[in-house]
Amino acid sequence: MKVFIIGVGLIGGSFALDLKSVIKQVEVYGIDDNEEHLQKALDLGLIDHKAVFEDLAKADLVYLAIPVDASLEVLPRILDLVNDNCVVTDAGSTKEHLCEKVSDHPKRRNYLSGHPISGTEFSGPTAAIHGLFKNKTNIICEVEKTAFKLQERALEVFQAIGMKIRYMDPKSHDRHIAYVSHLSHISSFMLGKTVLEKEKNERDIFDLAGSGFASTVRLAKSSPAMWTPIFNLNKKNVMETLDEYISNLKHFRKLMEEDNFEEVFREMERTNHIREVLNGINQNEEIKIIENGK
């Protein structure tokens, strides 16, 4: 199988590593507009060959792992170049604009819209890790628009590297992901900003930072080059989540201002329910894995 990775950073590089671990007869080609990243991916063994877009005619599978704004321009070009038996999939965090962009493309049947719910706060080929996708969910959108035999090929690959599959329409995907992913990153960035600004006058502040701060602000180390386009393309949904989040923050502040700490306690106690929700999700996933014999 000839697999082309476009964007050999954390996601693309990790996908390549996982592929190599489960598929013996696989050749991985890398395409990236950053020559330094491309060479590093080759040196690290993430890819077997450097490639250019014109080489896509020989691809069996293309994995697009670049910022979502660039994907809007690159995906139609990829579809122009691939052969009829090649499946093209992606890792973009927003789906509605991308699906609309290629809705009328003659080779729309070759594209399987995907979003793996996985990653770290690091970027570039040196951030690639084996097992990044294991037991993670890959959200597939508009599966019915992809040729069945090409669906099968991609889904077999996803399942081989340990991913679970969830189907969703693009609008629902973008709305839900704004809450559970995009808002989390904004919160982390703004917490980091707040502390950095305070640290200008109080140099000891980071000496007092514990594991709670480190885990909460971890996402603030994520790449602005990746996240700015995500916020842009999912602006409507992200702003809706921000309005709700800001409203909750203002309410919490008002309770404190009024010395209503009994209600502060109850607010936090009610929110503790998220622990049960997350535990339930984890238990359900474990059951699914056991049932599947994995």
Tens digit of each residue's pLDDT (9 = 90 or more) over 144-172:
999 999 999 999 999 999 999 999 999 99
For the chain, give every residue range classified as CATH 3.40.50.720: 2-168
For the chain, give every residue range classified as CATH 1.10.3660.10: 173-258
Q: What is the pLDDT of residue 21?
A: 94
Q: Return the closest-CA partner of residue 227 out of 69, 98, 95.
A: 69
Domain 173-258 adopts which CATH fold?
6-phosphogluconate dehydrogenase C-terminal fold (1.10.3660)
* CATH class of the domain comprising 2-168: alpha beta
Q: Which residue has the tokens 């679970």?
A: 164
pTM, 2 dp? 0.84
List pLDDT tens digits, range 21-60: 999 899 999 999 999 999 999 999 999 999 999 999 999 9
Spans of the chain, pLDDT less than 70? 201-203, 205-209, 280-294
